[in-house]
Amino acid sequence: MKNLLRAAAVAAATALALTACGGGSSTNSSDVSPTGEMKPHEISWLLSRPADGAVINIMKKLADEYAADHPGFKLNLITTPDRPSYIQKLETLAAANKLPELFDTDATPFAQQLAKQGKMLDAEKLLKSLDIYGNYRPGALDYQRFDDGSLYMIPFQFELEFMWYNKALLAKAGVAVPKSLDDIPAMCTALRSKGITPIAIDGQDQWPLERYVAYQPFREAGPGFVQKLKKGDAKFSDAAGQKTVNWMAELGKAKCFQDGFSAQGYSDAQNQFTSGQAAMYNIGTWELPSLATDKLNPAVRNDVDFFTLPTTAGSVTAANEFVSPSGIGMAVNAKTYDPLVSDFLKFALKKYPAQYAATGALSPTTDVQTTVPANATPLFQKALDQAKDLGSKQAMPWDTQLDPTTNGRLQQELVLLVQGEVTPQQFTETLDSTIAQNAPKFFK
Amino acid sequence: MITQAAPPAQPPAVVPPTPAVRRRKRRPDLFRTLSRVLITLIVIVQVYPLAWQFLTSLRSEHDFATGDPFALPSSLTWENYARAFETGDLGRNILNSFVVTMGANVLIVLLGMMAAYAIQVLGFRLSKLVRGLFLIGIIVPVQIALVPLFIDYSQVNLLDTYQSMIIPLAGFSLPMSVYLFSSFYEYIPKETYEAASLDGAGPYRIFGLITLPLSVNTVVTVVLVNSIFIWNDFIFANTFVLSEDLKTIPLGLQNYIGAMGKVDWTATFAAVCVTITPLLLVFLVLNKAMIQGLESGATKG
Amino acid sequence: MLPNRSRTSVLVFLLPPLLLYGAAVLFPILQSLFLSFFSWNGISEMEFVGLANYIRMFVGDDIFWRAFLNALIYLAICLVLQLGGALAVASLLTSLRRGRELIKTLYLLPAVISTVAIAFLFVRIYSLEPVGLLNQLLHWIGLGSLERPWLSDVNTVLAAVSAPEGWRFTGLYMLIIYAALLAVPKELEEAAVLDGASRWTLFSKIRFPYIRPVWITTTIMATTYGLRGFDIPYLMTNGGPGQSSELLTTYMYKTAFTSTDFGYASTISVFIVIECLAAVGLILFLLKRKADA
């Protein structure tokens, strides 16, 4: 029996060693125009987007058109809309060295490691070689860039995040639209005293609460803060860090979020806002079809409006600079990049923006005009217009910035901080030591 | 484990209710009324969620969002079912779940019987050790196999296949099946085998002619209990399956998740209702056999 | 043992099951053990770190201990609900004359529903804003002061995520115990009743000792399933708020697939295997010894 065990252990070791070695082979990530014969074959795109959403529908249609001229070509769209499941799938595929031709990823530390190993194609060179680089909104590309400015993912969306609010509820509590982030806690107290839920938030998915922690440092110290924080070069104990920690604790003390928010999902939170129970709701333009069309509950339709991220006194970023993500980006696998993939991307990326804009969404490029749907309320156009006048900086969502372990801990501790289970001081100590422990592994 | 010679499958209904009668004489209806009320309450708690799920699938989206989720719907609609079939490929999901469940069950039953036969009936020197080895599989959580299996599959190109789901599902259910079969075989009288042996039957014939036919009740139990777990398995399917064509029901349900975690709940519940129907039907039809099998398996400890 | 068996026949019957079992269960366990001595994020080179992962687990990881403690409490709640509930209902059921079959079937139904649906259902039941079923009920029966967001309150969340798991499988264990109770010889009970034994004496002195072996099996089943618990806490709260409902299994899963720390996740896996083996050993030791006493 002992011998058997030993044999099995050796076999395990060999199998693992093989896998590990398999990961080492590097390919040239900057050769964007491969030469050779173009043989049509099936290619796959592993993506994390809604199964029936505009991106998938359009890319399917474009792939069908392309396949008509190139028999043998087929685009397999493999979608896992649930983000945590998707990330798991992507990471395990990368570990097994089985990434498909195209795959979605944010500009995470994990993606940066893939890029460093030459597994992803340089997107800047690719877009330039297709002569469409200049069409993209700078902000849309910046969102996809790694800290060193390199670009490996191609955006398919462009979204703006606003604070939506209910005018009638604010009036009922006698409060005005907050001029500064620091006005929000007092506003919440006033709303609560009238029995109104101040802010509806999707606590279950965790990223919405994590947005809030990013706001104060972005105003106080600019977009550089989180870039330093994640490497351990800045700390929560610094001035900007303390400002956001204390502010989050104040939001909690003022009971800004609905009771039991941490277990409530996306739809529940949105329903609270659209049914007139909650006064505010922080969400992006991807919800325009439900917030700025006649689909919105008639009872609140005339009361809904939005404002952009308030500034603070002494803010280093301007009012027209806030969270404007271009969604999860598409990376091109350098290992499987061939003339066919190149030719298809050339075909699809050129045709995509016009069709995408026709669905009423903001294209990541500036060469097309978004079609406002027939059932839209005036808010729709107002929201789209915000995209015309954006500053050069943008607030990055922290969940794409921090290393995954720190990110998970931050999400957990934020709930505790807002619920008053930990003090700002405990929060600061826990997070600073978590970063110190984990950052070196990802950013060395 | 227990030295009790009960017949393998004793239908519980034939037990005469004498003790209850006698008790009732002694203490009037209080105890019985109380237990009836309790049982009714518990049954409500057990059944209500299914009913709620079904009612929710008939609600309009607006009613679900704004109304009291636990009240009766203000109006009924089949719209959610239409949306459910539009968004996902429910037929294919059900088919895939069926293939995986069946594939795993065939392995679990066949291999379970074989191992139990080898351990319990044939017997060999290290049978205690093998039994112990199988015990590990009952005990350890399935999650520990995810990382290693993923690596192994990618080595032998098994990722994204039916087998990639069937193998671990069957492997982790095998011990319980071995256990149930061998505790059943324990009660097949030795004389039966000895008689057959004297007639010159070898181990293969005895397996095919005696053990196999006698195991039917246990097979039903093993299949039904495992089907419940396998039909709803999420974790292996989610880790090993990539393409749309192979998605099982729990993965298919994920297609109802939209951007940033937004879920179309009423359509999801419609889909849930559609997808549990096959299992529910099988369960209701075969549930008597399963309950009997469970009971007979259980009393023999 | 069959007289006519041969070595080949034993192998023919034993090898195929062992092969599948080895590939799907035993080999991965060994691989986990192997991986637990490495630091590996899946894409970079593996680095041998000796016992560093184990040291980190035992002395340098507050979440690990929290998750371990939570897993034990989760297990305790599941056991009370599943075994206690099963025993109580099974006993009640034996006193019933009609409708037993129907009730048994209805009782087993929750096991058929997928955990995804169960998780969502219970999120609704526990909710406070909008008010869910549980808080509504408390309000109606005049216990309004107990109303709370059950899944967001760090003091109640663990119990709240354990209950659905217990609820799901109570029916299964009830059936097993019910069958065992039916097998208790009626003569024994009747004799005791004639001797004037109380209901409790009847149960503790006659019925329970008789079903003890089944009880041990059921306890082991429930314990191992309890230690495996994953889906419901993962789907309902993802371990939160904070780490209040983090179990070892969810923590291990997140370490592997969120933090991509496959080495450390494997270390936790190894601990879970040992924990489960120890738990079962303990049950056998305690319950068997009591039986002998």
A289 and A196 housed in the same domain: yes
> A413 and C261: CB-CB below 8 Å?
no
Which residues does residue A330 pair with via DSSP β-bridges, in sequence order? A104, A154
Count of beta carbons in the 10 Å neighbourhood of residue C291: 12
Report CA torsion sign: C276, C280, C281, C283. Answer: positive
Distances in whole angstroms, Cα of residue A176 to Cα of each of A170, A171, A172, A173, A302: 7, 7, 10, 9, 17
Give a yes or no: residue C22 inside a domain: no
State pLDDT tens for residues B243-260.
778 888 888 877 776 655
Query: Rounded to an integer, what distance in angstroms lies between the CA atom of residue C266 and that of residue C252?
Result: 8
d(C-alpha A49, C-alpha A103), whole Å: 11
Nearest CA among A414, A434, A436, A427 for reference residue A214: A414
Residue A50 has what pLDDT?
Answer: 84
Sign of CA dihedral C156, C159, C165, C168: negative
Q: What percent of chain B has pLDDT over 70?
A: 82
- In this structure, is residue C86 part of a structural domain? yes
Instruction: Identify whether residues A239 and A270 lie together within a single domain.
Output: yes
**Residue from A129, A48, A68 nearest A345 by CA:** A129
Alpha carbon distance B65, B9 (integer Å): 50
How many domains does chain A contain in total?
Answer: 2
Chain C interface, Cβ < 8 Å to A = 26-27, 30-31, 33-35, 40-46, 123, 126-130, 148-154, 236-243, 254-255, 257-262
Interface test with A, best of C129, C236, C247 (most A CBs within 10 A): C129
Asked if residue A332 belongs to a domain, the reply is yes
**Span between the terminal Cα atoms of chain A, in Å:** 44
Residue A60, domain member (yes or no): yes
The 10s digit of each residue's pLDDT in B159-168 is: 889 999 999 9
- Same domain for A43 and A148: yes
| Cβ-Cβ contacts under 8 Å, B65 against chain A | 267, 271, 274-275
Q: Among A82-91, A220-229, B146-155, B184-193, name the most confident range.
A: A220-229
Give the burial class of C238: count Cβ atoms within 10 A of its Cβ; 0-12 exposed, 13-18 middle, 19 or more buried.
buried
Distance CA C20, CA C25 (A): 8
Distance from CA of C90 to the nearest CA of B (A): 10
pLDDT, tens digit, 9 for 90 and up, residues C115-125: 777 887 788 78
Is residue A102 one of the residues assigned to a domain? yes
Residue at token pair 């982030």: A181
- Give mean pLDDT, residues C205-224: 84
Q: From the centroid of its chain, how far is CA B80?
A: 28
DSSP A70: S
B contact residues 92-121, partner C, Cβ 8 Å cutoff: 107, 111-112, 114-115, 117-119, 121
Amino acid at A390: L
C91 closest CA partner among C180, C192, C186: C180
Tell whether B78 is within 8 A of chain C (Cβ): no
Same domain flag for A95 and A63: yes
Other beta carbons less than 10 A from residue C221's beta carbon: 20
Chain C residues within 8 A of A258 when measuring between CB atoms: 129
- Let me know whether A269 and A334 are in one domain: no
C43, C127, C260 ranked by CB distance to A260: nearest: C127
Contact A116, A24 (CB under 8 A): no
Residues A262 and A204: beta-carbon distance below 8 Å: yes
* Amino acid identity at B172: F
Which of A19, A52, A97 best tests the B interface by mutation, with the highest count of B CBs <10 A?
A: A52
Structural domain that includes position C220: 37-292
Report if residue C8 sits inside a domain.
Answer: no
Pick the most confident of A76-90, A398-412, B120-134, C136-150: A398-412
Q: What are the helix (H) ranges across A232-375?
A: 239-253, 266-274, 288-291, 298-301, 339-357
Do A345 and A248 sit in the same domain of this protein? no
C30 falls within a domain: no
In sequence order, what are the residues at sequence separation of 6 or more whose Cβ sits closer than 8 angstroms to the Cβ of residue A183? A310
Task: Flag whether A310 is in a domain.
Answer: yes
When pLDDT is averaged across residues B110-134 and rounded to a whole number, the result is: 89
Q: Are A80 and A149 found together in one domain?
A: yes
Q: Which of A52, A53, A76 faces B243 most closely, judged by CB atoms?
A: A76
pLDDT at position A296 is: 92
* A332 plus A303 within the same structural domain: no
Q: Are B114 and C21 in contact (CB under 8 A)?
A: no
- Are B127 and C11 contacting, i.e. CB atoms less than 8 angstroms apart? no
Q: The domain containing residue A195 runs over which residues?
A: 161-323+385-442
Alpha-carbon separation of residue C285 from B251, C180, C278, C288 (angstroms): 41, 22, 10, 5
Establish how many alpha carbons lie within 13 A of residue B144's alpha carbon, considering only the half-sphere containing its beta carbon.
Answer: 33
A77 — contact with chain B (CB < 8 Å)?
A: yes
Q: Does A23 touch chain C (CB under 8 A)?
A: yes
**What secondary structure letter does DSSP report for A176?**
P
**Model pLDDT, residue B249:** 84
Instruction: Establish if A176 belongs to a structural domain.
Output: yes
Neighboring chain B residues of A79 at a CB cutoff of 8 Å: 244, 255
Task: Say if residue C167's pLDDT is above 90.
Answer: no
Are residues C28 and B149, on separate chains, in Cβ contact within 8 Å? yes
A113 touches chain C (CB under 8 A): yes
Contact status of A371 with chain C (Cβ, < 8 Å): no
How large is the average pLDDT for residues C82-107?
A: 83
Q: Is residue A106 part of a domain?
A: yes
Q: Is residue A17 part of a domain?
A: no
Are residues A148 and A207 part of one domain?
no
Cβ C178 vs Cβ C87: under 8 Å: no
Chain B residues closer than 8 Å to C217 by CB? 1, 298, 301
| CA–CA distance, B124 with C2 (Å, rounded to integer) | 10
DSSP state of A133: G
Closest CA relative to residue C43, chosen from A434, A335, A336, A119: A119
Q: Which chain B residues in 49-68 lie under 8 Å from chain C, judged by CB atoms?
A: 49-50, 52-53, 68
Which residue's structure tokens are 């390919």?
A27
Report yes or no: A422 at the C interface, CB cutoff 8 Å: yes
Residue A216 C-alpha, separation from nearest chain C C-alpha, in angstroms: 22
Count of other CB atoms within 10 angstroms of residue A7: 10
Q: Is residue C112 part of a domain?
A: yes
Least confident residue range of A280-284, B18-22, B91-95, C255-259 = B18-22
pTM: 0.84
For the cut 70, the answer to whether the pLDDT of residue B24 exceeds it is no
Return the percent helix, strand and coil in chain B, to nearest 5: 75, 0, 25
Q: What's the complex ipTM?
A: 0.84
Whether A38 and A128 share a structural domain:
yes
In a domain, C118, yes or no: yes
Cα B166 to Cα A155: distance, rounded to the nearest angstrom: 38
Q: Could you read off the pLDDT of C179-202 as tens digits, one per residue?
A: 888 888 888 888 888 888 887 888
What confidence tens digit (pLDDT) does each residue in B97-113 have? Answer: 999 999 999 999 999 99
Residues of chain C in contact with residue A412, where contact means CB-CB under 8 angstroms, are 239-243
Q: Is B270 on the interface with C (CB under 8 A)?
A: no
Range in A340-344, B62-66, B92-96, B209-213 the model is least confident about: B62-66
Q: Is the pLDDT of residue B128 over 80?
A: yes
The span from the CA of A111 to the CA of A120, in Å, is 9
According to the model, what pLDDT value does residue C22 have? 93
CATH code: domain of residue A128: 3.40.190.10
Quick check: C228 contacting B, CB < 8 Å?
yes
Query: Rounded to a whole number, what is the distance in Å from the CA of C232 to chain B's nearest CA?
Result: 12
Tell me if C123 is assigned to some domain. Answer: yes
* One-letter identity of residue C274: I
Q: Using the predicted structure, report yes or no on whether residue C272 has a pLDDT greater than 50.
A: yes
The residue assigned the tokens 């099998």 is B293
Nearest to B291 by CA among C93, C26, A258: C93
Q: How far apart are CA C275 and CA C265, in angstroms?
A: 15
- Inter-chain touch C249–B152, beta carbons under 8 Å: no
Same domain, A285 and A209: yes
Beta carbons of A267 and B242 less than 8 Å apart: no
Structural domain contains residue A13: no
Q: How sure is the predictor about C2, in pLDDT bands with cuts at 50, 70 and 90?
A: low
Q: Is B44 exposed, middle or buried (CB count within 10 Å of its CB: 0-12, 13-18, 19+)? A: exposed
Mean pLDDT (10-residue bins), chain A, 444 residues: 41 44 50 80 91 90 94 90 82 82 93 91 94 94 94 96 96 94 96 95 92 96 94 94 96 94 87 93 93 92 95 93 95 93 94 95 94 94 93 93 92 95 96 92 78
Which two three-digit tokens encode residue A265? 């999902």
Q: What CATH number is attached to the domain comprising C69?
A: 1.10.3720.10
Could you tell me if residue C19 is inside a domain?
Answer: no
Number of domains in chain C: 1
Q: Do B66 and A16 touch (CB under 8 A)?
A: no
Judgement on whether residues A136 and A172 belong to the same structural domain of the protein: no
Among partner residues B19, B45, B283, which is closest to C189 by beta-carbon distance?
B19
Chain C residues with beta carbon closer than 8 angstroms to that of B14: none
Give which of B167, B169, B176 is closest to B112, Cα–Cα: B176
Of B77, B51, B96, B81, whose CA–CA distance to B271 is shortest? B81
Residue B1 pLDDT > 50: no
Tokens of residue C29, six digits: 């366990």
What's the pLDDT at A58? 95
Which chains contact A through at least 3 pairs of Cβ atoms less than 8 Å apart? Answer: B, C
